[in-house]
Amino acid sequence: MSEAGSTMGRRPSIYLASASVPRRTILEELGLAFGLLKVDVAEIVAVTARETVEENARRKLVAGLALAEKGAIVIAADTVLETQGRLLGKPADEIAATQYLQQLSGGSAIACSAVAVAVTGAAQGSLATETAEVHFKVLSPEIICWYLTTREPMGRAGAFGIGRFGEILTESIDGGYSCVSGLPKTALVAALASVAGEQMPEPLRHMPAALMGTRVQLRSLAIHP
């Protein structure tokens, strides 16, 4: 069921339905003890970025809930980049990765991330979406070739991961760094507090609503297969 035990050495009450290292790092930064669930779902590309990440996060959440014990909190997330009206998912190969990076060169992209959270056995969970705008440097063929050698583009939305070498490609970010990384902290804390407030560490229970700002949208989520 769980690929790893609690980060604090005890049985976790929180599970992350993802193998993403950046997402694990973000949970660790928030001081949450958690376990990992390996889920395998068919991801979709919908009409809009928001619809895409919300549905993929929902699918991952449902898959994770089926694996976790009753009463556990499951977190799932999905992220895409959108530029020039096109959604950029994970590249199939280096040719696709090169094309994505050429599109991003000297321009900007919107990172759209969704976080789905629910307690196993509950009829409803919470779904929060967050956006950030990434502005890129001009990416010459030499830069793109170098970035491909890091292997970071493969398996990343838009062939771009900001957590390691990808940050070097950017000029600036409008919005949350963690949103671009794949697990937006503001959306995550809002979603967690709405479904599992009493089980959260004190600071996470009482985030002022004003901190959600205009980039985060939060709603309830009916849990069904």
Q: What are phi and psi of 196, to 5 degrees?
A: -145, 35
Look up 78 and say whether it is catalytic. yes
Catalytic residue among 40, 78, 93, 174: 78
User: Which amino acids are annotated catalytic?
Assistant: 78
